[in-house]
Structure 1
Amino acid sequence: MTYGRFAYLYDELMRDVPYHEWLTFIKRQAETYGIAGKKLLDLACGTGELTIQLADEGYDVTGVDLSGDMLAVAKEKADKRGHSLFFAEQDMSELEGLGQFDIIGIFCDSLNYLQTEREVVQTFERVLHHVKPEGLFLFDVHSVYKINTLFIDQTYAYNGEDVSYIWQCFEGEYPNSVEHELTFFHLDTHTNQYNRYDELHLQRTYAIEQYEKWLSMTGFELLDVTADFLHSNPNAESERIFFTARKRKTE
């Protein structure tokens, strides 16, 4: 999907997203599983907020996203922070030509934007091709509980000085999927009038066991499954599930 105008308002709308928690997760898993290399691929990097924080921490990071608008914002932000980062406009299920990395991550529930099982499997296959031997694959997804209980048939709203939105969630076409209908209003300071923009975002998730099966069948060894930024096992009301996998050794 493309984000259009939404890309340029994304950071303001997502100002409370705890990117530092993802950064902590990455660093902890790298230390736990003995990954000394710092070459990292940030898939579905969006406006590059986490990508840039990783660069601040000394990672040799590459960002990939499907949206050229998102990447334009990311590049501008990185340049302002003094980082000369490489960003590539690619579909993560068709990833190609970027070399190999010590760590590959898909964060902020970005994997949930893939709408078919085949796309998820293809993404895992492309990640396997781009991760170094015994390198780490890290990702997080919405839980089935979150999609069906905290999203479907719910409405959320935000009222800021320059931007406001109404966010309505409807049951999606597939099991454990949701359609996010976003209507947001942005103040044009030149005219002192609000412009309206509409976005439709589709997300789908699967049971933990299904992700585990796909990781195994594509060549990964599952190392860790945790929940909600805590180093603890998921439970029935966990909202965000974190996976840590390693490229399986070949005989």
Structure 2
Amino acid sequence: METIKGHLYDYPKYYDLIFGDDWKAEFDFLQCCFEKHATRKVTRVFEPACGTGRLLIKLAQAGYKVAGNDLNQHAIKYCNDRLERSGFPRSAVIGDMSNFKLKRPVDAAFNTINSFRHLQTETDAKNHLQCIADALAPGGLYILGLHLTPTVGEPMKSESWSARRGNLSINSHMESIRTDLKQRNEHLEMTFDVYTPTRQFKLFDTMDYRTYTARQFKALLAKVPDLELIELYDFMYEMDFTIKIDAETEDVVFILRKK
């Protein structure tokens, strides 16, 4: 099978299929969080590092005013084209999730699949949270999902999953190659095995995530006092199952509210 090395984000059609296949659970969870945890009516939402807008389009179709930003021009075009085809404004822009300012406050923001960990420094991470705090109206929510580094036990090293849409099928595999806790870096490799009626090929990419123990993330949150931690869930997205973080916890959805 031919291997193509490059950024997976440059292939939004394939990226969207893999990560957008199970949108319904996240979509329902977001709406439940809006209703349960926001102290204001949620009508305007924003997604930093929105990528292909797999959730933005669903929220727009549900009646929300949506917007997002992302550094990848291919993903932004894909997102905006999809919004436009459904009759919505091209409201996603090329932008840095650690350095942005919205013209008008939003009622909620979300980032659910570890994109936050692409920010490589404490300064960038703090700036991101402050940008979000500044973008939210009082009582608005930030729903942030990420994997913590457990301090007890072995962390999950790999994930594989598949998705299909019509004649397009993709098998995806992500593996943690090495982790340097002193440098706060986790290096990963990710592949998409792509199958179409006329071609089979492999897309290969590497990425680096900043690591966070529970203590480190708590210390980061303390630097942005405008955001208050009000609840914790895991990636099962079950509203009646909240969690408490311990030394073995990995996947966490933090529900933060603007004071």
> So what's the TM-score if we normalise by structure 2?
0.80
State the secondary structure of the residue aligned to 2:98.
helix
Uncovered stretches (5+) of structure 1, i.e. residues with no partner: none
1:74 lines up with 2:79 in the alignment: yes
Match of residue 187, structure 2, among 179, 189, 195: 179
Confirm or deny: 8 A CA contact 1:227 1:234 kept in the other structure.
no
Q: Structure 1 residues 79, 241: CA separation in 2 closer, same or farther (over 3 Å shift)?
A: same
Q: Per-residue displacement from partner, 1:142-180 (whole Å, max 9, x unpaired)?
A: 1324995212xx474759765445543211344564322
Q: Structure 1 residues 184, 81: CA separation in 2 closer, same or farther (over 3 Å shift)?
A: same
2:223 equivalent in structure 1:
217
Q: Per-residue displacement from partner, 1:62-112 (whole Å, max 9, x unpaired)?
A: 021111111111112222333224011111011124431111222222112
One-letter amino acid matched to 2:231: D
Identity of aligned residues (%): 20
Q: Which moved more, 1:172-181 or 1:159-168?
A: 159-168
Residue 14 of structure 1, CA deviation? 2.8
Q: Structure 1 residues 72, 106: CA separation in 2 closer, same or farther (over 3 Å shift)?
A: same
Q: Which moved more, 1:97-106 or 1:154-163?
A: 154-163
1:204 equivalent in structure 2:
210
Match of residue 138, structure 1, among 134, 137, 143: 143
Q: Structure 1 residues 96, 235: CA separation in 2 closer, same or farther (over 3 Å shift)?
A: closer
* Matching of residues 78-97 of structure 1 within 5 Å: 78-97=83-102
1:123 lines up with 2:128 in the alignment: yes
Match of residue 26, structure 1, among 25, 30, 33: 30
> So what's the TM-score if we normalise by structure 1?
0.82
Q: Structure 1 residues 114, 209: CA separation in 2 closer, same or farther (over 3 Å shift)?
A: same
Residue 214 of structure 1, CA deviation? 2.4
Residues of 1 paired with 2:99 and 2:245: CA distance? 33
Q: Structure 1 residues 56, 149: CA separation in 2 closer, same or farther (over 3 Å shift)?
A: same
Residues of 1 paired with 2:126 and 2:94: CA distance? 20
Q: Structure 1 residues 174, 118: CA separation in 2 closer, same or farther (over 3 Å shift)?
A: farther
Residues of 1 paired with 2:20 and 2:47: CA distance? 19
1:47 equivalent in structure 2:
52
Residues of 1 paired with 2:88 and 2:59: CA distance? 11
State the secondary structure of the residue aligned to 2:101.
coil
Q: Structure 1 residues 93, 12: CA separation in 2 closer, same or farther (over 3 Å shift)?
A: same
Q: Which moved more, 1:169-178 or 1:119-128?
A: 169-178
Q: How many residues align?
A: 243
* Matching of residues 58-69 of structure 1 within 5 Å: 58-69=63-74
One-letter amino acid matched to 2:220: W
Confirm or deny: 8 A CA contact 1:212 1:222 kept in the other structure.
no
Q: Per-residue displacement from partner, 1:106-137 (whole Å, max 9, x unpaired)?
A: 22221122222221111011111111123222
Residues of 2 paired with 1:148 and 1:95: CA distance? 37
CA-based RMSD = 2.9
One-letter amino acid matched to 2:251: R
Confirm or deny: 8 A CA contact 2:18 2:163 kept in the other structure.
no
Uncovered stretches (5+) of structure 2, i.e. residues with no partner: 1-5
Residue 47 of structure 1, CA deviation? 0.7
Residue 188 of structure 1, CA deviation? 6.5
State the secondary structure of the residue aligned to 1:119.
helix
Q: Structure 1 residues 180, 38: CA separation in 2 closer, same or farther (over 3 Å shift)?
A: same
2:254 equivalent in structure 1:
243
